């Protein structure tokens, strides 16, 4: 069985056409392999390209060259060259992504925002909501907030709704962008437990964890994105 | 889920090949090609005059392209070049398997007919004859688009802009079309009303697994609705791809300008 994530010869340069065409090389010839049940922590100073790599792994950023092979439905797909509908399908079933900020949808209650990814893969409304309730409870979102749209929630509450949404489906690949950035110690430990459970069921996890406690608890190894800098043409 | 299921079968719903249309010496749209799959939502963005409305008019058979082919997978017939359809065939398609949501509800509604009649009329076009069934289905759809059932016999001219737009959507979706064209569906509405309409559209499109081609200049609309995005400038598609990829990592100079010009609220 191939690894869930295999990145090879990946390169990314931003070209800012409206600022004199300035070119900002981020990384080149980057290779990374993540095994099932393994958690890789993207490491390095601010500006090293950690977020750019993580977003590339979700096909949110488009790499210039190389490939990102993800095992989806038992077969490899290359996120750099796949058609949009295939990427959408892979995101629905295979690749979970917890961003730093929740993108709030007007009027949709927190419970449904969390349940939505499970509904999208065919889980019944009742089962999806049941699972959503369980996650919101674990993440200490008070029940009185579940039926409200999270637009008015605090930053920490929004982030916990976002985490619940990211963990409601047992994705084989999980991408985490500072999931504990605005959380207190108790909730941080809950997120650590969620990540450890995901690893135990065989998820390949790639994350950015600035918090040393979280990093030490979940990461199997550190990956220095910076070491692939400066080689871009 | 229906959207997810239908996208698993990879047969396209519509294919556009090198669609070109000009007005006199002026370019409308030039050499536009794409494939639309069932249940997929494509956004077309660009400024006024970019050709996006011309393209939409060609795709929906309201305007004849100078060159290029638009083929559609018609129920029971397979792929048909929509230019070869007779006028009655095209109108039938427009009333049944297609929908068209105009920016101005007045262009898509019959203002002198009751709200219930506006919805029921589309049902009658597909053969419904039983008054009770038609009224029941009309009520069902008015509820889905959050229009108070007490207003069913009122004429749309007494409705607010947001209600008219929701009625137009109900009128279009009642026949469960497989493809709906939308031209600036939130264009004339207040911001608070826009959010409600967008959320409603998003829910219905996903629930019913409808394919949508939506033209707008509002990037927030496509961010929320569209799987894929085409960016048009001076009649040409300058960039296309996954919606969030095009908006978060734009490559073409014009897309970069468009994205960076949005004011952060």
Any A CB within 8 A of B241 CB: yes
Interval A190-199: pLDDT, tens: 999 999 999 9
Shortest alpha-carbon distance between residue B116 and chain A (Å): 26
User: Is the CB of residue A221 less than 8 Å from the CB of residue A42?
Assistant: no
For B8, the closest chain A residue by CA position comes to A89
User: Is the CB of residue B19 less than 8 Å from the CB of residue B58?
Assistant: yes
Interval B167-191: pLDDT, tens: 999 999 999 999 999 999 988 788 7
Interval A63-80: pLDDT, tens: 999 999 999 999 999 999
Task: Please provide the DSSP assignment of B146-207 as one string.
Answer: T--GGGTTS-GGGS-HHHHHHHHHHHHHTT--SEEEEESTTTTS-HHHHHHHHHHHHHHHHH
The 3-state DSSP composition of chain B as helix, strand, coil percent (nearest 5) reads 45, 25, 30
- Provide, as residue numbers in chain B, all residues whose Cβ is less than 8 Å from the Cβ of A61: 245, 248-249
Size of interface A-B (CB pairs under 8 A): 62
Name beta bridge partners: B216: B45
Shortest alpha-carbon distance between residue A117 and chain B (Å): 10
- Residue of B190 and A88 predicted with greater confidence: A88
* pLDDT at residue A195, rounded to an integer: 98
* pLDDT at residue B1, rounded to an integer: 39
User: Is the CB of residue B165 less than 8 Å from the CB of residue B189?
Assistant: yes
As a whole number, mean pLDDT of residues A158-179 equals 97
Interval A5-24: pLDDT, tens: 999 999 999 999 989 999 99
Any B CB within 8 A of A20 CB: no
As a whole number, mean pLDDT of residues A144-157 equals 93
Share of chain A above pLDDT 70, in %: 98
As a whole number, mean pLDDT of residues A82-88 equals 94
* pLDDT at residue A182, rounded to an integer: 85
- What is the band of A229 on the pLDDT scale with cuts at 50, 70, 90? confident
B228 vs A84, A89, A119: nearest CB:
A84
Any A CB within 8 A of B199 CB: yes
Q: What residue ranges do the domains of chain A occupy?
A: 1-94+171-233, 106-170
Any A CB within 8 A of B78 CB: no
* pLDDT at residue B47, rounded to an integer: 86
* pLDDT at residue B2, rounded to an integer: 41
Which DSSP letter does residue A105 get? P
Question: A61 and B256: CB-CB below 8 Å?
Answer: no
A59 vs B8, B242, B260: nearest CB:
B242
User: Is the CB of residue B168 less than 8 Å from the CB of residue B105?
Assistant: yes
Smallest CA-to-CA distance from B144 within B208, B211, B204, B93 is with: B204
* pLDDT at residue A231, rounded to an integer: 52
Q: Which of B242, B256, B264 to mutate to test the interface with A (most CBs of A within 10 A)?
A: B242
* pLDDT at residue A108, rounded to an integer: 86
* pLDDT at residue A193, rounded to an integer: 98
* pLDDT at residue B206, rounded to an integer: 82
Shortest alpha-carbon distance between residue A189 and chain B (Å): 31
**Complex-level ipTM:** 0.92
Interval A110-130: pLDDT, tens: 999 999 999 999 999 999 999
Whole-number mean pLDDT of chain B?
Answer: 90
As a whole number, mean pLDDT of residues A28-52 equals 95
Any A CB within 8 A of B69 CB: no
Any A CB within 8 A of B198 CB: yes
Q: What is the pTM of this model?
A: 0.91
pLDDT block averages, 10 residues each, chain B of length 265 = 48 96 89 95 92 95 95 94 93 92 94 95 88 93 93 95 93 94 89 82 86 93 94 96 97 94 68
* pLDDT at residue A232, rounded to an integer: 44
Listed in sequence order, the residues at least 6 apart from A64 whose beta carbon sits closer than 8 Å to its beta carbon are: A11, A12, A13
Any A CB within 8 A of B32 CB: no
Question: B249 and A62: CB-CB below 8 Å?
Answer: yes
Smallest CA-to-CA distance from B61 within B95, B105, B27, B110 is with: B95
* pLDDT at residue B205, rounded to an integer: 86
Question: How many helical (H) and strand (E) elements, i.e. helices and strands, does chain A have?
Answer: 7, 9
- The CA distance from B198 to A35, in Å, is 40
Interval A201-221: pLDDT, tens: 999 999 999 999 999 999 999
User: Is the CB of residue A195 less than 8 Å from the CB of residue A205?
Assistant: yes
- Give A1-94+171-233's CATH code, choosing from 3.90.190.10, 3.30.565.10, 3.30.1280.10, 3.40.50.300: 3.40.50.300
């Amino acid at each position: 069985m191939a690894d869930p994530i295999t990145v090879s010869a990946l390169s990314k340069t931003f070209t800012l056409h409206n600022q004199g065409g300035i070119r900002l090389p981020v990384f080149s010839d980057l290779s990374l392999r993540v095994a099932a049940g393994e958690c890789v922590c993207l490491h390095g100073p601010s500006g090293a390209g950690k977020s750019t790599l993580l977003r590339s792994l979700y096909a949110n950023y488009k790499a210039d060259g190389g490939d990102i092979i993800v095992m989806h439905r038992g077969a490899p797909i290359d996120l750099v060259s796949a058609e949009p509908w295939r990427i959408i399908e892979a995101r629905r079933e295979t690749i979970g992504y917890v961003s730093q900020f929740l993108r709030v949808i007007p009027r949709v209650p927190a419970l449904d925002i969390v349940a939505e990814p499970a509904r999208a893969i065919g889980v019944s409304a009742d089962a999806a909501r049941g699972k959503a309730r369980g996650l919101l409870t674990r993440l200490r979102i008070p029940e009185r907030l579940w039926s409200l749209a999270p637009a008015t929630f605090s930053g920490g509450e929004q982030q916990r709704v976002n985490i619940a949404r990211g963990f409601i489906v047992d994705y084989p690949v999980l991408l985490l962008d500072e999931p504990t950035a605005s959380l207190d110690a108790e909730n941080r430990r809950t997120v650590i437990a969620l990540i450890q459970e995901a690893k135990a069921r065989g998820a390949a996890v790639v994350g950015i964890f600035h918090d040393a406690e979280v990093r030490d608890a979940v990461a199997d190894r550190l990956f220095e994105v910076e070491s692939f800098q400066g080689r871009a043409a | 889920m229906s959207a997810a299921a239908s996208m698993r079968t990879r047969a396209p719903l519509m294919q556009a090949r090198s669609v070109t249309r000009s007005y006199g010496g002026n370019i409308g749209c030039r050499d536009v090609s794409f494939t639309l799959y069932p249940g997929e939502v494509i956004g077309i963005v660009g400024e006024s005059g970019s050709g996006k409305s011309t393209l939409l008019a060609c795709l929906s058979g309201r305007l004849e392209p100078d060159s290029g082919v638009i083929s559609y997978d018609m129920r029971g017939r397979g792929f048909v070049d929509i230019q070869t359809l007779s006028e009655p065939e095209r109108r039938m398609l427009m009333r049944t398997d297609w929908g068209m949501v105009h920016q101005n509800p007045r262009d898509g509604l019959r203002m002198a007919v009751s709200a219930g009649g506006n919805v029921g009329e589309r049902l009658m076009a597909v053969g419904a004859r039983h008054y009770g069934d038609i009224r029941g289905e009309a009520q069902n759809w008015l509820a889905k688009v959050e229009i108070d059932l007490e207003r069913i016999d009122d004429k749309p001219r007494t409705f607010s802009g947001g209600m008219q737009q929701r009625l137009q959507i109900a009128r279009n979706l009642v026949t469960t079309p497989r493809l709906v064209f939308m031209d600036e569906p939130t264009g004339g509405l207040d911001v608070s009303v826009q959010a409600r309409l967008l959320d409603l559209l998003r829910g219905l499109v996903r629930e019913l697994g409808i394919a949508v081609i939506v033209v707008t200049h509002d990037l927030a609309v496509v961010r929320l609705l569209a799987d894929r995005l085409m960016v048009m400038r001076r009649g040409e598609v300058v960039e296309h791809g996954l919606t969030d990829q095009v908006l978060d990592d734009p490559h073409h100079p014009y897309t970069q300008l468009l994205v960076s010009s949005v004011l952060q609220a």
